Structure 1
Amino acid sequence: MFMEEMKGSVSIEKKEMIENMGVLQHGEARKEYLFNSPQALRLWHTGCDSDWGEGYSTCEFVETDRGTALFRGKISTQVVKDGRVQRAGWAAIKLEDRKSFLRKKYHSRWTSFSHLLIKCRGDGRSYKVMLYTPGAIDVTWGDSFSYPLHTHGGPYWQYEKIPFSRFFHTVAGRIQDRQYRVNCEELSSIGIALMDRIDGEFCLELDFIGVCHDRSHIEKFAYETYSLPVFSTQGF
């Protein structure tokens, strides 16, 4: 029994070591998150503007009999008349996968992969994929990297390969002037949001979320950046 456990442990550590070294085959992919059990769905939490008393949108994340999950609900852009909220109409799911003692679980093993891979079936709406990278201090808690997820609609599945080099830096959903590539060493959560300002029902079916490696993709970062002056919000 002990030898079998040791053999399995060595196999896992060998695979992790190879991935960390960047020794990956072209087209190699790994399914990181499946949605084929209630335990898998419990890692994901939902949220919308009505949960915060700032709108009337609703959403849920439910399991299907096909071993997939449905992120569905209704978007309402009606604004709460409290004199404070100016815009409404969003819904999202977010991964809450943690280690023991509620420690963050970082996706450092994704560093050697080139693309985020999502198998989904949508309704024609444009969603947003978010990679969360909050830091230790409060001013970095809203740091994330975003990229649109355009769904085709209809009955067919689509495989969305999003290069990590295409994710752009946002803070609390706002695009920043200073852009840089996402660092998977700091990536602790993933989310999918809908905020297209279109009233009505929505439905996004997810089969899995994972990563893949494409050796032909040599792009480091897709966006131009520049050095900000010393006397700026990023300087003194």
Structure 2
Amino acid sequence: MILTFKFLRKAGYSLGCQWTIFCPLARLSFAQCTPRMHSSSYRRPGVLPDNTPPWKNVDFNFKKSIEEVKKHFGLLKKEIVDHWTGPEGRPLIEHLLEQTRVIWEFRSQQDLEQWVVSSDQEIGGKSETYLKLSKNSQTALLYGTLNTSVPHDGETRYSGYCSLRSKMPQGAFNHRKHHDWSSFNALHLRIRGDGRPWMVNLGTEMYFSHQKDDLYNYFMFTRGGPYWQDVKASMAGVMIII
């Protein structure tokens, strides 16, 4: 599946988003698909726990540490300059008159590093997912195998998902940042799909801890074939799944 993104601005609608997930729905119903990233601490039933001491996974590299310090102080300097320049480092008049904003493009390997691909292979499934640049380096290609075979562990009932998730923006010293989409009310995706239905999830920073897994969802139906498809997901049309 090939993806490009941009946002459209219309009436004021407030929704500060952190990340986006794309999950194909194969022969499963919408309620059966679980488009969430599983943590590395997940252990499938019957698998022995990993008792490796934590200190063995620490990489002591002095040169890398110096580079990280320089990187974070550079980000701190940029944040201070951007704060005095205007919202997100742009003049205020430009921010107020903005109608569209391109959030993600796929032009280089660095653009691909802003995304994380995942599949049920992480929890014992057989699906595989990969992300690479197209031949003309103008788009990204998400490809792989979606396998809904259920592992024979006696507990798992459903299996088979593939997802593409954007990384959360980080500022100086790894403090969390968020995409400010409060000036926009629509998400525009330019895709060339595989004919399967996909689910677009938007996660926000919730105030209460019991809402941390709430997602805003939009169901996207791709046509398949060689032609590009423009999908406009209105923020007013998304629904929340708890």
TM-score, with length taken from structure 2: 0.59
Q: Distance in 2 between matches of 1:119 and 1:81?
A: 39
Aligned partner of residue 148 in structure 1, secondary structure? strand
Residue 105 (structure 2) aligns with = 34
Match of 1:105 among 160, 168, 177: 177
Among 124, 137, 160, the alignment partner of 1:89 is 160
C-alpha separation in 1, matches of 2:111 and 2:92: 26
Specify the alignment match of 1:58 in structure 2. 128
Match of 2:35 in 1: none
- More strand as a share of residues: 1
Q: Which of 190, 194, 209 pairs up with 1:123?
A: 194
Root mean square deviation of aligned Cα = 2.4
Residue in structure 1 matched with residue 57 of structure 2 by the alignment: none
Tell me how far apart the structure 2 counterparts of residues 57 and 137 of structure 1 sit (CA, whole Å). Answer: 34
Q: Deviations over 1:167-208 (max 9, x none)?
A: 11013xxxxxxxxxxxxxxxxxxxxxxxxxxxxxxxxxxxxx
Q: Sort the Cα spacing of 1:144 and 1:84 in 2 relative to 1 into closer, same or farther, 3 A.
A: same
Q: Quick one: percent identity of the two aligned structures? A: 29
Answering whether residue 91 of structure 2 is matched by residue 13 of structure 1, we say yes
Which blocks of at least 5 consecutive residues in structure 1 are unaligned? 172-236
Aligned residues: 157
1:59 partner letter: T
Deviation sequence 1:132-162 (CA, Å, 0-9, x none): 1243665333111111111111111111111
Q: 1:93 to 1:15 in 2, by over 3 A?
A: farther
User: What whole-Å deviation, never above 9, does each CA across 1:16-72 have from its counterpart, x for those lacking one?
Assistant: 641xxxx55xxx32211001111111010011111122x211111111122211111
CA distance in 1, matches of 2:153, 2:175: 37
Unaligned runs of 5+ in 2: 1-80
Partners of 2:207 and 2:219 lie apart in 1 by 27
Q: Which has the higher helix share?
A: 2
> CA separation in 2, counterparts of 1:15 and 1:77?
51
TM-score, normalised via structure 1 length: 0.60
State the alpha-carbon separation in 2 of the partners of residues 44 and 137 from structure 1.
27
1:13 shift after superposition? 2.7
Contact 2:168 2:178 (C-alpha < 8 Å) held by counterparts: no
Q: Distance in 1 between matches of 2:174 and 2:165?
A: 16
For residues 174-193 of structure 1, the aligned pairs below 5 Å read: none
Cα distance change of structure 1 residues 16 and 144 upon mapping to structure 2, 3 Å threshold = farther
- Alignment equivalent of 2:147, drawn from 66, 76, 81: 76
